[in-house]
Structure 1
Amino acid sequence: MKKYLLTLVTLLMVLHSFGQSRKESREKIKALKVAFLTKELNLSSAEAEKFWPLYNSHEEKLDTYRDKGRSEIKRKLKEVGDFDNLNEEEAKKFLKLKLDLERKTLIEKEDFFKKVSKFLSYKKIMKLHVSEREFAKKLMYKYGRGRKPKDKERKK
């Protein structure tokens, strides 16, 4: 009994530390993104004061939509096993959910751009869009998901 209890406690500690490191990694990435965007957009202090609260709220909403979609898909796939086991009605529900989340995401983006256009030029808003994509690209390359095929061949 003590052995099982010790194993359970150890497992819980490992899972807790894994969750903490994951949270710390997300916070580190967020800080890197803020620094990158700040540099790229070259915001004045007045612009930054208005921009960052709106941007953070915007990002939270987009994360919520992404997380909701992922969790719904994972939950349903866990129930049925895999996509091959889905019936037509369930697949239709998935597509409706996906389209609904994409619609909400688009509406959120439009709302965000409308709000920031009151104090940022459209040129800076476009620069934001490009810079976000550039940051994501750099992050992918850094963590190995975007390596060029030549890099993989050299390591073999």
Structure 2
Amino acid sequence: MRRLILCAIVVFASTVLFGQQRNPQLEELRAKKIAFIKQRVNMTDDEEKAFWPLYNELEQKRWEISKQRDQWRLTKKDGNTDFAKLNDLYIYSEVTRAKLARTYHEQFKKILPPEKLFRYYIAERDFKEKVLEEIKRKANEAKHK
């Protein structure tokens, strides 16, 4: 359960990065993520020109899905929560994210060779893990102060 909560925090943090573009800290984290991916994947200039606009589009759509899914936060406070509706909303958002991943995977395959595309997916995962570790480290530091 604890691991699930931490994973949810990482997913939320990574999607928030792309929706709250006015926040300097989030912009800095977004820049670090892009630099991390660039370093790991090592794309050519032509690959980057085709990849990054598509990547940014994907991140924006992920953010929109997350905003819709997070409506539960608003509804659970009023005391009249329709859990059946929230469950459906949650599953719908997960299915939508999966379809989105599949669609963009097909487009990314046209831009990057298989090895680089694999490195991109691993870099995405590794960056999320890195952010999670940073969150845990800061939480531990705050706890011990």
TM-score category (smaller protein):
0.7 to 0.9
Matching residue of 1:119: 111
The structural deviation recorded for 1:78 is 1.5
Matching residue of 1:101: 93
Matching residue of 1:58: 58
Q: Distance in 1 between matches of 2:107 and 2:66?
A: 22
The structural deviation recorded for 1:145 is 5.3
Which one-letter code corresponds to 1:134 in the other structure? D
Alignment of 1:13-28 (within 5 A): 23-28=23-28
Alignment of 1:6-155 (within 5 A): 23-70=23-70, 72-80=71-79, 86=81, 90-144=82-136
Q: Distance in 2 between matches of 1:68 and 1:58?
A: 16
Q: Distance in 2 between matches of 1:31 and 1:44?
A: 19
Which one-letter code corresponds to 1:105 in the other structure? R
Percent identical = 25
Q: Distance in 1 between matches of 2:49 and 2:89?
A: 35
Larger Rg: 1
Question: Which stretches of structure 1, 4 residues or more, deviate above 3 A after TM superposition?
Answer: none
The structural deviation recorded for 1:61 is 0.4
Q: Give unmatched runs, 5+ long, in structure 1.
A: 1-19
Which one-letter code corresponds to 2:108 in the other structure? V
The structural deviation recorded for 1:25 is 0.9
The structural deviation recorded for 1:110 is 0.6
After superposition, what is the alpha-carbon deviation per residue over 1:104-131, rounded to whole angstroms, capped at 9, x for unaligned? 1111111111011012122222211111
Which one-letter code corresponds to 2:77 in the other structure? K
Q: What secondary structure sits across from 2:78 in the alignment?
A: helix
Q: Give unmatched runs, 5+ long, in structure 2.
A: 1-19
